[in-house]
Structure 1
């Protein structure tokens, strides 16, 4: 149904509009009329018209003023100006109000019908757009929690920063820093600790959605999934100089959040909060939040309030150290070498007189780097593998020898991590390709295959295309069409059966895809190449 409002000071014009619209569109359109600018404004408030045909020259409030008033409470109505003049003084104002068309009096029946048909088409387009936006929003409401969970998991546990960067773009997160909050839940308190009986985790799944909504009403954050009786939350934020004041506000907001949660959900809650760190260091913030929970009986505890930790010398290049091991963990050899050389130069500039101290720092970094490689599954460990490291360090006669040994060992660890990442990606892609080749006739999806290789769908899509040059759907389609060709040439296999055997249960869809890939329909292909 379409609501049409006609405003004109001539009664004969109003009757003409009503009769023409009723005759051409019947009950599809409901028409209201008004003879003055004031009347049309008042009717529009309750009638909520989709389309307004507005005469410019009316008693009292003119058509332009009436449209301006209506636009204040109705932003979607389509305005059609009715005028006895081809050009009039109000043209610029009318354009600013978004007038769709000018109709010059006298108006024929055909012009009225054409204008209404045009207006109905535009109203339909707007309605469809709103409907599609609502559908997209509904889908996003389903997809976003999955993406958020993957983002949190990639930051805290999988150590796949490339995947985390991808999720961060999907979620439109601009901040490069943030902190982790851990929301812990249980049934009751005992000696300041939460008691979580058997079955509490299952029960928590029922109120997880409500928890997520409440948390997001307090913080602009990304909420992970339930793990035991804890929910990790990543809160992106800029690094601020007023860290103390903001920490106090954060703790107070967290207390308010707990009160809100306990007022809505039959459970008790505690919150542990880690330090603000770079996104690639969120795992450290998570461990700090966990340590805060375990180290205090308070309902809300920030790691900074738990205890004073050791601090670096003011002159020590902390950020340089972080960069070295970040690039090492990412397998970025060139960047890692550059940072190591700068760090070695820094040591020489500050401690050239103390070679043993520099030897110790080199040994510390090498052992730390090899531990990172071991944790990444890139190298093995044996108790006696480093038995000569101290002797080698002490045997270096000058700083250039020590620098070379330092770089060689760290580069080996970096390359091992890089090779392991590439091997994992290649292995995952090859395993997926083999699975597709063996199961092309089944109803397989990206989620099925990414689950098989134990990699998130988004990150799997990226490495699969890097390895094959095609995305998952393109590769699956190529395999299915090649198999369909083999079936189509056989005289005892019908076109329908060829489609089913190659993974297409819908004959029409099979025909469309086949023609798109081969420029021939299945029947044309069978006729030309059949045995």
Structure 2
């Protein structure tokens, strides 16, 4: 926590700081001011998590200062050397968390800090939830209609890591993600920042936090994660100063993520490293398409891509840049140890790979599930879990075989169902329609419907109700 110590006596400030440090070593940051005016100026610069505030200070008393900022709901512990209950009453009326007589004992400070810590944790959980929900909303609006709203909680500067999973065990995957989430949470806590950990509509696992964190901080996390889980996950680190830049960076990673099949598989790849290995992209893109065609049981596509990679030039430069990632991914995909040193060896190895997918067409299976569950809160991760394939691969396979993004198909199905409900008079309001096709936000549903059809849902419903001579209800 950031703790502000406001007292005109330096020894009192030092004593409090010493006791808090003794109780919670290296856990808190301290800011010190010696009067009420400096306190108010400090609050204009930054808001602390807890204030220890002396009631009697020169120039502007603690109570006078508190009366000017109490609406900000900052937890405040009042301090005084005067055992007068009237001071306590006035402080508590303003919303003080606690009231201590100076000099406070270690036990008294401990009890106060426990109370403050409990309140801090409750507040942080609520703020983290607000952060997560706001990012989901920002993400949905940007994905569906390219709209960027002004954030209230998800504020810059941003650090994000997009994770691509190439190997996992279905039985332990959810638990493994919880472990990764906990590891990333510890990094955010160390930097004093909120974060969210979620799936993007395109299948990537996204960690986002509102502070600057260098790529090196995440290397140890992935090493530890791979040692304790059955996953092989590669992280792409990005940074941005605003939401527009953030989504531009996401799109850049999505164009370049195949690099992991050739370099730094299971590690963290920085923006600088993506640029360094960019000449590998034509080769890594072809390789990824081949692996996806194999997973999707696309025999003709696999053969065409195999021919294309056999014609690949600059063989020497490619294999000089590749590390052991190429052989690792091939070994994982085939179940056979790979030791590839040339294009010819690669082609021969790929020819021997056989698809292990079920005979039923993967896309038909996905589309059938959407038709049955469009009204539920489903996403690419839901489908991926059902058919035992990584979300990022599934997203790519779907686009490759249909020419359409998974999220766009899901939106199209929902819009079609919404029109059927409204034109048939099966829903009483726009809100009812939105909820019945999988949207909990009427405003968001309205924006998506307008973008998809060129008309608002209320206008669409009104036109059909008037045609039938029924009164409209919105």
TM-score clears 0.5? no
Between 1 and 2, higher relative CO (CA 8 Å, sep ≥ 6) is seen in 2
Give TM class, smaller chain.
0.3 to 0.5
Which structure has the larger Rg?
1
More helix by share: 1
TM-score normalised by the chain length of structure 1: 0.33
